[in-house]
Amino acid sequence: MKQGCPVSQRLTHMPVSSIRKLTPFVNPLREKGVKIYHLNIGDPDVKTPDVMLGALRNWSIDPVRYAHPWGEPKFLDALLAYYSKIGYPWLKRADLLAAQGGSEALVMTFLGIADHGDEILTFEPFYSNYAVCCAITGVKLNTVPTSIHTGFHLPDEKTIESHITSKTRAILYCNPCNPTGTIYSKDEVESLVRLAKKYNLFLLADEVYREYTFSGVTPTSLLDYMQEMPEQAVVLDSLSKRYSLCGARLGNLVTLNQELMTGLHKIAQSRLSGGLIAQVMGEHLLEVPESYMEGVVAEYRHRRDILVAGLRKIPGVTTYEPEGAFYLMAALPVEDADEFCKWLLTEFHPNSETVMLAPGSGFYGTPGAGRNEVRFAYVLNEKDLKRSLEILKEGLTKYKA
């Protein structure tokens, strides 16, 4: 019997994103007419700014050419104006690189700073695609645990330092954090800055959710320290969540390390260009009225409050009040959240409705960690969010029985 060609070990061992791992169960349910409340993925229902959609309505570039490999000049200038507005007028075009979403920026950065077998230190629970990006690039993710009982804030500096090895090339953190909604304090960020300096490491800050803050806490940006550690700091950014442009795949990175940037330009050239259409939409970011972001933040704060209050009314659920982003981790009164989340989709459909959650284990690197946790993305409107909580409460009662 003829054997098929074996695929790469990279594919064999690549983790499945916890956010989408249960997707195969979705289409059969839809065919049966079951309504699914998607709390598993951060795909906002908030409308995209009209001025950005106007770039599509008024499109005139014909033919649709390649974009500049490392970013359309007008888009980069719009980004520079944005960063200047929030306090960083010293950045230049040469410090920016446009990417196809924050994920491509992350993969590019891993390729630029680490060789096969090197380590990136991060904090668990982490954005599950970090592990996928590591698998793609041959880099190992080394994780430092945090706890739901402290709102997933960072451990002390000595604990973090104890996880640094001879193979560590960078510290990566997300602030505000996906999947926890935690906003790290200035002291926490400065502890990472000190460690990066002490061990000559790159410090990578995923700041995609910069504007989403709900508790009067302002995130400390790595941009505040970039000039004092120009060779080490990299900020990963995206317009996807900020302006509800997830499908546009529009991200960027910022670094003053020109040796790194020169190398990243080679990678950018190899994929020819990012999306021209998306970047033309992004050119209009400063035309978005401030009232848009104010309204979006107020809406997510309201949803957070509904979710936290609802979860606290469900017996056996452990949670906390996230300070930003639009995510929350919760511990459920089940032994295996993966099986429970699957059960919700395959067997529990009250009134032909159910809830889709992201199992927590996929946000951890430590085997067995997060086994009874799930991540919520509170991207649904108030009515749907409340109904989701009703289904979850009933489901936990029936599942335990």
Q: What are the domain boundaries of the chain?
A: 9-47+290-400, 50-287
pLDDT at 44 over 80: yes
> What DSSP state is assigned to residue 351?
G
pLDDT band at 19 (very low <50, low <70, confident <90, very high): low
The mean predicted confidence, pLDDT, of the chain is 95
Q: Which residue has the higher pLDDT, 20 or 381?
A: 381
Q: What is the pLDDT of residues 237-268, one digit of tens each?
A: 999 999 999 999 999 999 999 999 999 999 99
HSE-CB at 40 with a 13 A cutoff on CA atoms is 25
Helices (H), 86-142: 101-113, 129-137
What pLDDT, on a 0 to 100 scale, did the predictor assign at position 216? 85
Kindly state the tokens that stand for 266.
Answer: 């080679």
What pLDDT, on a 0 to 100 scale, did the predictor assign at position 8? 87
- Cβ atoms of 282 and 78 closer than 8 Å: yes
pLDDT at 67 over 80: yes
Q: Which residue has the higher pLDDT, 215 or 160?
A: 160
What pLDDT, on a 0 to 100 scale, did the predictor assign at position 401? 63
Rounded Cα gap, residues 206 and 170, in angstroms: 13
Burial of 187 (0-12, 13-18, 19+ CB in 10 A): exposed
Burial 219-230 (b: 16+ CB within 10 A, else e): bbbbbebbeebe
Rounded Cα gap, residues 397 and 37, in angstroms: 19
Rounded Cα gap, residues 182 and 241, in angstroms: 16
Radius of gyration of the chain (CA): 21
pTM of the predicted protein model? 0.95
What pLDDT, on a 0 to 100 scale, did the predictor assign at position 2? 59
Rounded Cα gap, residues 273 and 268, in angstroms: 7
Rounded Cα gap, residues 393 and 194, in angstroms: 44
Main-chain phi, psi angles of 35, to 5 degrees: -85, 130
Q: What is the pLDDT of residues 264-299, one digit of tens each?
A: 999 999 999 999 999 999 999 999 999 999 999 999
What pLDDT, on a 0 to 100 scale, did the predictor assign at position 16? 73
Look up the CATH number of domain 50-287: 3.40.640.10
Contacts 24+ apart (CB under 8 A), 295-301: 296/46, 296/211, 296/212, 297/211, 297/212, 297/213, 297/214, 299/46, 300/212, 300/214, 300/326, 300/378, 301/214
Q: What is the pLDDT of residues 122-147, one digit of tens each?
A: 999 999 999 999 999 999 999 999 99
Q: What is the pLDDT of residues 86-95, one digit of tens each?
A: 999 999 999 9
pLDDT at 80 over 80: yes
Contacts 24+ apart (CB under 8 A), 60-63: 61/276, 61/280
Which amino acid is residue 166, in one-letter code? S
Fold classification of 9-47+290-400 (topology level): Aspartate Aminotransferase, domain 1 (3.90.1150)
Q: What angle do CA 216, 219, 220 make, to 5 degrees?
A: 135
Q: What is the pLDDT of residues 298-321, one digit of tens each?
A: 999 999 999 999 999 999 999 999
Burial 242-280 (b: 16+ CB within 10 A, else e): bbbbbebbbbbbbbbbeebbeebeebbeeeebbbbbbbb
Rounded Cα gap, residues 21 and 27, in angstroms: 13
Which residue in 211, 210, 253 sits closest to 233, CA to CA?
253
- Non-local CB neighbours of 266 within 8 Å, separated by 6+ positions: none
Distance, CA of 227 to chain centre: 25
